[in-house]
């Protein structure tokens, strides 16, 4: 890959590539609505390194859809038409509730240092009440076996020390606090991917740790744009840049129209 192509990698492409590297082959997962990045990540993973992943495309109920362009909406019925099978909402919710989904890719309007998420309501620092769209499937963060968190907003407003309202249970107040209330087989958030960096939630504290910073960004920039100081173990490495194969498959097969390269 030329230096020009490398410099041209959008943050959405970088996030999709990071997520694609993280999935475990053979697992069964789900994504939510408006999920172009995890949609692309799952397609990329199944085409490059994890062919046995099965995944549900959010609102459509479609399993392993292969729409030729990234759909803006995961509930786009074209997902259903190109899927291997379609499940009803009842089926999907049964799997979610009974903790039979290995993973989900989720976000929130606030994500905190323990991976708790909020989509319902918050109060701004100047005291204004802000309504979010609602908790929807985040309630199943209690039951998904693991959760990959992602957000396209690496900002002080999104990455907060403590969410105003817990829609989705992360590691609650850290340590083993989650497992005092919820099933142990649902292990909570394992990763947080943003446009600038990657975090994980290692025990025993299960607090966000800065794992790597994407090419073109600095640790200072990452820290200046969040409202808590993550754990850092020594020098933080650079996120490995996309390989030629990753970028080729992403751009030529998964996202030929360049949806992830457009201004977002």
Partner 1 sequence: MALLVDAPKRKSKVIPLEQLREWVPSGSTVGIGGVHSQNAPMAAVREVIRAGTTGLTIIPTPSAGIAVDMLVGAGAVSTLHVSYVGLEFLGMAPNFKRAAEEGTIDIIEGDEAWIVYGMRAGAGDLPFMPMPPMYEGTDLPSVNPLLKRTLDPHTGREVYTIPPLKPDVCLIHAQVCDIYGNTVIRGLRRFEHVMAKASATVVVTAERVVDGPLGEDPRVVNIASPQVDAVIEVPYGAHPTASPGDYLLDEDHLRLYAERSRAGDFDGYRAEFIDKPQDHIAYLEAIGLRRLLELRHR
188 φ, ψ to 5°?
Answer: 85, -170
From CA 88, how far away is CA 74, in angstroms rounded? Answer: 14
Residues 116-135 that bind partner 1 (CB under 8 A): 119-121, 129-135
Exactly one of 2, 3, 89, 252 binds partner 1 (CB under 8 A); that residue is: 89
Exactly one of 6, 82, 142, 155 binds partner 1 (CB under 8 A); that residue is: 142
Residues 6+ apart with CB under 8 A from 167: 108, 117, 118, 119, 120, 134, 135, 138, 139
138 binds partner 1 (CB under 8 A): yes
Identify which of residues 41 and 211 has a Cβ nearer to partner 1 in the complex. Answer: 41
Q: Give the nearest distance from C-beta 163 to partner 1 in angstroms.
A: 9
Considering only 10-18, 92-100, 154-162, 248-256, which stretch makes contact with partner 1 by CB under 8 A? 92-100
Cβ atoms 114, 208 nearer than 8 A: yes
> How many chain residues touch partner 1 (CB under 8 A)?
50
Omega prior to 204 cis, within 30 of 0: yes
Q: Give the nearest distance from C-beta 15 to partner 1 in angstroms.
A: 16
Cβ atoms 242, 14 nearer than 8 A: yes
Q: How far is CA 90 from the centre of its chain?
A: 24
Q: Which residues pair with 160 in a beta bridge?
A: 112
166 binds partner 1 (CB under 8 A): yes
Binding mask 174-213 for partner 1 (x = CB under 8 A): ----x--xxx------------------------------
From CA 221, how far away is CA 218, in angstroms rounded? Answer: 5
Considering only 139-147, 148-156, 197-205, 217-225, which stretch makes contact with partner 1 by CB under 8 A? 139-147
Q: Give the nearest distance from C-beta 98 to partner 1 in angstroms.
A: 8
From CA 92, how far away is CA 97, in angstroms rounded? Answer: 9
Identify which of residues 168 and 230 has a Cβ nearer to partner 1 in the complex. Answer: 168
Q: Give the nearest distance from C-beta 78 to partner 1 in angstroms.
A: 8
Residues 42-71 that bind partner 1 (CB under 8 A): 59-61
From CA 75, how far away is CA 96, in angstroms rounded? Answer: 17
From CA 234, how far away is CA 197, in angstroms rounded? Answer: 16
Site residues (CB under 8 A) for partner 1? 33-34, 59-61, 72-73, 75-77, 80-81, 86-90, 93, 96-99, 119-121, 129-143, 165-169, 172, 178, 181-183
């Amino acid at each position: 890959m030329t230096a020009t192509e490398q410099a041209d990698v959008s943050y959405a492409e970088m996030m999709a590539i990071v997520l694609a590297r993280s999935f475990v082959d053979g697992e069964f997962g789900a994504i939510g609505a408006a999920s172009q990045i995890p949609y692309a990540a799952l397609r990329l993973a199944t085409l490059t390194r994890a062919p046995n992943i099965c995944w549900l495309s959010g609102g459509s109920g479609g399993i392993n859809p292969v729409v030729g362009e990234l759909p803006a909406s995961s509930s786009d019925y074209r997902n259903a038409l190109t899927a291997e099978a379609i499940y009803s909402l009842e089926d999907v919710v049964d799997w979610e509730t009974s903790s039979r989904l290995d993973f989900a890719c989720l976000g929130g309007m606030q994500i905190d240092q323990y991976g708790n998420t909020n989509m319902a309501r918050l109060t701004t620092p100047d005291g204004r009440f802000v309504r979010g769209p609602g908790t929807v499937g985040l309630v199943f963060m209690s039951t998904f076996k693991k959760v990959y968190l992602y957000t396209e907003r690496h900002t002080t407003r999104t990455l907060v020390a403590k969410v105003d309202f817990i829609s989705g249970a992360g590691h609650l107040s850290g340590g083993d606090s989650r497992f005092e209330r919820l099933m142990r087989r649902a292990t909570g958030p394992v990763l947080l991917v943003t446009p600038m960096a990657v975090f994980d939630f290692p025990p025993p504290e299960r607090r966000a740790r800065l794992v790597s910073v994407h090419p073109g960004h600095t640790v200072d920039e990452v820290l200046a744009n969040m409202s808590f100081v993550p754990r850092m173990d020594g020098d933080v490495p650079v996120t490995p840049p996309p390989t030629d194969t990753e970028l080729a498959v992403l751009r030529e097969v998964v996202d030929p129209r360049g949806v992830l390269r457009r201004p977002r």
